[in-house]
Amino acid sequence: MAALANTPTNSLRRKTSFMTGGAPNVVECLGYHRGAIDTTTISNKPPPVIMNTVRRVLGELGIQVQEESAYNYRCIRARKQELEPAAEESLMDAPNCPPKGVYGPLTEDPGDEVRMSIELTRLEGLNDTYSLDIRRLKGNLRSYKFLYDTIRDISY
């Protein structure tokens, strides 16, 4: 039993190639997608291009990104700050002030903190076809749904 605990699982095992000098192949580093598939998050673009686009979109939306690996991000959208009307007017007058985050209408997005994981996975049996998996880790479901739809619409 102890010998099994030290062996890597199939999803974590990285194969090396003689042609790349022993470095793991980019595609082989990705895990396989499990679960339901959202057809709008499937792409045939190269993985680095997909992740660069996702990183750019998250930055534009004001979402904090922590890179767990090259193809797996942990993201946090901060809670919406309640401002007094006078403070809101002063913020609108400052044109160089970057947005603190993206928030939807109150009916769609209460503005709560949302933590999510964004991972690029490959689809089993389909070469060069990838799925962007966006999972909610913590936060209001309506806020997460608003962010999910926004990221999906902008990225693809």
Judge contact between 37 and 131, C-beta under 8 A. Answer: yes
Per-residue DSSP letter, 7 = S
pLDDT in tens, 103-126: 989 889 999 999 999 999 999 888
Categorize the per-residue pLDDT at 66 as very low, low, confident or very high, splitting at 50, 70 and 90.
very high
- Residue 87 is predicted with a pLDDT of 47
Alpha helices in the chain (DSSP H): 2-5, 26-29, 47-60, 85-93, 141-155
In this predicted structure, the answer to whether residue 49 has a pLDDT above a threshold of 80 is yes
Q: How far apart are CA 28 and CA 31, in angstroms?
A: 8
Q: Which residues contact 42 (CB under 8 A, 6 or more apart)?
A: 123, 129, 130, 131, 132
In this predicted structure, the answer to whether residue 33 has a pLDDT above a threshold of 50 is yes
Higher pLDDT, 26 or 101: 101
- What percent of the chain is modeled with pLDDT above 70? 69
In this predicted structure, the answer to whether residue 90 has a pLDDT above a threshold of 90 is no
Average pLDDT over every residue of 70-94: 70
- Residue 14 is predicted with a pLDDT of 43
